[in-house]
Amino acid sequence: MKAPQRLHSLLEEGLIDAVVRQLMSGKEAMVYIVRCGDETRCAKVYKEAAQRSFRQAVDYTENRKVKNTRQARAMAKGTRFGREAQEAAWQSAEVDALYRLAAAGVRVPKPFNFHDGVLLMELVVDGEGGAAPRLNDVALTAAAARAHHTTLIGEVVRMLCAGVIHGDLSEFNILLAADGPVIIDLPQAVDAAGNNHAQRMLLRDVANLRDFFGRFDPALLATQFGPEIWSHYTRGVLQPATPLTGQFDPGHTPVDVQGVLRVVTDARDEEAARQQRMSMRE
């Protein structure tokens, strides 16, 4: 196919040799299958901020580090340079998270390069060597649902042990590879220790997994892995090999009043934002 304009610089630099086809168009990027020598990889081309349906909500960008104070001031003021710096930080967040999580053994695509707003990474494949489907496109047996759910809960724990929370985890950003699920789409990943919304995001990620796999195995709907994981994390005892039961008794832990109030405030703010979006559509 004819190479999109955004991929020309990668062709010129010899980072890719050919563009095979478009793989998908998501809320924040377009993904293409490309050839790199004898290997087939994928190139994620980030959309401009005005074209994305997924916005850089302050919940996600809170406490993200920037290169210097000049950038921080410009981003706070919303100047043109600040907007460009914010966009670059949003894109590089996924690159940083991928390298960090891959090093921790999390099942994510292997990153190879980031050039001119394009992330070059491993193409996740199915058993026949084709591009792996997203989880929401796959029908599962109850046994397969339980197995994949167990795998992904383990990956959420491994991510948290590496200090990262996905922040938008669902069946729409998990690929089902030949050897099991692989987590993708991480530009909104948050720092577990430095983000005040971390608990809510972790609980939401785990609840999304529970609700999806619970469609195929209703027994999963009664599990409480999210609160259990967060309890272990806040007590400093969470490890990748920590045994989990899926059961949680909040009566055995101190009540975090401020945390509860933050969750209530976050929920109120989210509902207000939703109502505003609905009114703008009318």
**Is the pLDDT confidence value at 236 over 70?**
yes
For 4-54, the pLDDT digits (tens) are 899 999 999 999 999 999 998 877 889 999 999 999 999 999 877 554 444
pTM: 0.78
Among 12, 6, 22, 15, CA closest to 37:
15
For 138-170, the pLDDT digits (tens) are 999 999 999 999 999 999 999 999 999 999 999
For 191-231, the pLDDT digits (tens) are 999 899 999 999 999 999 999 999 999 999 999 999 999 99
Class of domain 54-110+133-281: mainly alpha
Catalytic residues: 168, 185
Asked if residue 187 lies in contact with residue 94, where contact means CB atoms within 8 angstroms, the answer is yes
| Whole-number Å distance between alpha carbons of 229 and 253 | 13
| Whole-number Å distance between alpha carbons of 217 and 2 | 44
> What are phi and psi for residue 103, nearest 5 degrees?
-65, -30
Chain centroid offset of residue 37 CA: 29
